[in-house]
Amino acid sequence: MCVRPSFYPSYGGLITLGRTDDVQSARFWMQVVDELRRGVRLKKISCSRTPIEYELTPYEILMEDIRSRKYNLRKVMVDGDIPPRVKKDAHAVILEFIRSRPPLRKASDRKLAPQPLKRVACPREQLLDSIRKGRVLKPVHPKLKTRRVASMISIMFPMPQPFHCINICK
C-alpha cells in the first residue's frame, strides 16, 4: 500500500507500509514531528522513576545470605565427637595422600626407550637419496623381451598396409 502524506509538504516520496495500523501510526508520528518543527512546546510533567527490580539467581541469594550472616552452621557430630578428618588441617591431609601412594623410582633407575630421530629432508636431499638407493628391477622372462621388442619396432616403423585393408569409411 502506497500513501502520499499530504500533511507533510517537504516530503516528496512515497511511504510503503504493509498494514493499515502502520499507516495510521506513521501519519500520527509525522504530524507530531511537523508540529514540533513549527514550534509547539511540550508540557513538562513530574514523574519519578520506580527503581528497577532484578530477580536474583540462587547463587546470588546464597552469597547475599553469606555476606549478611543470616545462617548458623551446626557442628556435625559422629558418635558424640567431631570426626577426625575434620580436625586435620589441609597440609596434613595432603601429606597423608602423598604418603599413601606407591614410592617413586629414581630418575637414574628409570630407562626410557630412545626416541627415533626424525629428520625432515629437503627435496634435494630426498632426490639424492633416491638416486643413491637405486631401483631394483624385476627380471623379465626372455620370451616377453622378444615380443616387446617386436611390438616396439612395429610402432616405430609401421609397415605399409595393402590396398584392400585400408578402411575407406574413416
Residue 36 CB contacts under 8 Å (≥ 6 apart), including other chains: 42
CB count in 10 Å sphere of residue 25 = 12
Residue with cell 518543527: 37
What are the backbone dihedrals phi and psi of residue 19, each rounded to the nearest 5 degrees, phi first? -120, 165
Where along the chain do its domains lie? 2-38
Q: Could you tell me which of 37, 27, 28 has the C-alpha nearest to residue 5?
A: 27
**3, 14 contact by CB (below 8 A):** yes
- Confidence bin at 147 (pLDDT 50/70/90): low
The string of pLDDT tens digits covering residues 27-86 is 999 998 999 899 888 788 777 777 777 788 888 888 888 888 777 766 666 676 666 666
Q: State pTM to two decimals.
A: 0.19
CB count in 10 Å sphere of residue 23 = 17
pLDDT at 165 over 60: no
pLDDT at 16 over 60: no
pLDDT value of position 144: 66
CA distances from 41 to 9, 11, 28, 33, 48 (A): 21, 23, 17, 12, 21
Q: Could you tell me which of 138, 119, 117 has the C-alpha nearest to residue 129?
A: 119
Question: What does pLDDT average to over the chain?
Answer: 74
Cell numbers found for residue 89: 588441617
